Copies of this chain bind each other. A is one copy, B any other.
């Protein structure tokens, strides 16, 4: 870490600051410049209160030299992490496709969709049982019953399953779930992350609506530090001023995260755009950007000719986009 001191800092102040830093156990190197003095700080940086240091009157600026994330960092773990779920691999050149309905609604529905997405090329089944909803008056999901129905669909099709968990107290329900999803609103629910770190199950961690990529990696770090290295990062759109899409899908996150970290990176274009007719173009773009997979909402509602699903693809649309994604993956190599 580097601290740049303001012009006019007295020698007494400088010495006092250096003593304070050395008291935290750091080694301090002084580099006098034309108008400023630069301090190079070596050692366990996590012991310094960086905002406090930045706010000192004699300090012009503080800059980290090293990344604050360790276990998720590609620098210390150059080869790609590959998460394995049954026969499915995610990361390290393996492009995985997760598909299924937004919510589990009934046994009939989830089994029908599971069969349809399997036929269309999906390798993992998604389905919401616990639904985080902005309004307390909106449908909150079938909860425990929803998870049981997902497990039925897994038995019927052989597809591994992924579902979102919102609280530590619901973790025991996930025995038969293959991947646990942490939603955008829970990306910084640190107690939940810590508990998941003690689990042996892969975790798909979604980026928060206003979270930087570094914050996403720090949340992965909460899980990994507890011993669970099976973390999949997922870009799902950030909040901006644009209103034609529900969120702004930040596909640049894919190459940035792949550079910074060895963890697999997936993309959720369904939540990222919120509009079914923009999902396929964004799924193709995600594949072209180098993502390790996508998660897509697919529904099947032949009874309601009007409904095309706010952000869900039909099975036929899914099959088409799946084939195109596979071809794009083979081109980009």
Contacts and interface: CB of A to CB of B under 8 A. Distances in A.
Contacts of A243: 212
A51 B221 contact: no
Interface in A224-265: 225, 238-246, 248-256, 259-260
Interface stretch (A82-90, A107-115, A116-124, A281-289): A281-289
Contact of A249 (B40, B51, B252, B305): B252
A65 B33 contact: yes
A256 B251 contact: no
24 contacts: A16-B305, A17-B306, A29-B31, A31-B38, A33-B40, A33-B42, A36-B65, A38-B40, A49-B310, A51-B310, A55-B276, A55-B308, A61-B63, A166-B189, A166-B191, A167-B191, A213-B242, A241-B241, A249-B250, A251-B282, A252-B282, A281-B288, A284-B332, A331-B331
Interface of A: 2, 4, 13, 16-17, 20, 29, 31, 33-36, 38, 40, 42, 46, 49, 51-52, 54-58, 60-61, 63, 65-66, 68, 70, 132-138, 166-169, 185-186, 188-191, 194, 208-210, 212-215, 218, 221-222, 225, 238-246, 248-256, 259-260, 272-278, 281-282, 284-290, 304-311, 324, 327-328, 331-332
